[in-house]
Amino acid sequence: MATCSPGDYLIVPRNCHISVISALVLSGAVPKYIIPEYNSRWDIAGGITQLQLDETVKELEEDGKRVGAVLVTSPTYHGVCSNVQGIVSVCHPRGIPVIVDEAHGAHFRFHDSLPSTAIEQGADLAVQSMHKVLCSLTQSSMLHMAGDLVDVDKVSQCLQLLQSSSPSYLLLSSLDAARDQLSKNTNIFDEPLAIASETKDQLMRIPGISVLDLPCFASDFPAIDPLRITLSPSDLQLSGFEADDILYEDHQIVSELVGTRAVTFAVNLGTRVRDVEKLVQSAKHLSEKYFFANSSESMKENRVCGPLEKISVHITPREAFFTKKRRVRIEDSLGEICGELICPYPPGIPVLIPGEVVTHDSLSYLISVRHQGITISGAADAELNSILVCNL
């Protein structure tokens, strides 16, 4: 809202957090999506590239559109960082501000071997969920600003519009305590980094287990958060969900995030060596039990990639939000304008965003995934028997 007036374009990765769609509703900005790299072996979306951004900005410029801002999610939940510096180098000469959703990267500033922060790379605004990896209370976040491309008074006005006039001193003091902890312990991330690195080395040596790393992506992403450990049990012929259930039920290991082909763990300041030793031991058990037992079976191919080639935007998310809606059977929704966000997770790339036409491809994709145990976030009917469409 501080960067885009109604009708301005916001360039944004398609797998942005739902809060970005809310911001589109509030601001009236028009989204221009960049499809992130999608790795089907891992069923994970990566970041966006400088080249994709450059092409998108030029396309909008050729059409005479005004770009209000570019928003990048870096790192992603799996820790994949985009080249923010490169993205800034495309945007700043044109006066376009860069906003970074750095929700999962609040710790980056606090160790030399962690990736560079968005602000260090020249971003104008970066929002960090301090509670995710650092030690503040849930819901506490920080918004960082640099440079003078974004009007600080406008940002303050927006915050006034969106925030309570009775701030939580509990949350504020927890942010201050987290800041204090970091400022007084300069080597605080030495231990978590050593633990994570050793754990990855050990997991990679286990037959049937792979660990996500930058070479898993075709794009040249600059970094991956070393504190995120994403493992694939695919060569054990287990899905991520199956491996996660076994790790939880048989070994009481709670993961951070689970997908069809991967399970992610977050190492943080509270992680102890005994925690990761237990993870490695449990992964060894999984391997011993399933590597040979399952090696002759071929894993069920239970997903297809999202139908994101032909997104058809009919009205903006804001117009869709204020339009009257009706509920229709999913089978009857072809050609309708979708009235709610429909985002199968994994991989967390929305198939339909409010205001988009339900195409043949999106419909058949949704019908194919709805009974596969995948979480459908955004949709009021999580079973996807019906969806909300706009009455136009």
Ligand X SMILES: Cc1ncc(COP(=O)(O)O)c(C=O)c1O
Residues lying near ligand X in the complex (CB under 6 A) are found at: 17, 19, 73, 77, 101, 103, 129, 141
As a whole number of angstroms, the distance between CA 334 and CA 383 comes to: 18
Shortest distance (Å) from residue 377 CB to ligand X: 11
* Smallest distance, ligand X to C-beta of residue 103, A: 4
Smallest separation (angstroms) from ligand X to the CB of 104: 6
Give the residue among 232, 255, 230, 231 at the shortest CA–CA distance from 244: 255
Q: Which is nearer to ligand X, 269 or 358 (CB)?
A: 269
Closer to ligand X by Cβ: residue 132 or 325: 132
Q: Kindly tell me which of 77 and 221 has the beta carbon lying closer to ligand X.
A: 77
Smallest separation, CB 18 to ligand X (Å): 8
DSSP 371: T
**Largest Cα span, the chain:** 63
d(CA 244, CA 149): 45
Closest C-alpha to 45, from 265, 351, 367, 254: 351
Neighbours of 66 (CB within 10 A): 13
Nearer to ligand X, 73 or 237 (CB): 73
From the CB of 17, what's the least distance to ligand X, in Å?
3
Nearest distance, CB of residue 378 and ligand X, angstroms: 14
Q: What is the SS3 assignment for 142?
A: strand
Nearest to 223 by CA among 365, 82, 20, 52: 82
Distance between CA atoms of residues 82 and 98, nearest Å: 12
Q: Which is nearer to ligand X, 248 or 345 (CB)?
A: 345
Nearer to ligand X, 134 or 330 (CB): 134
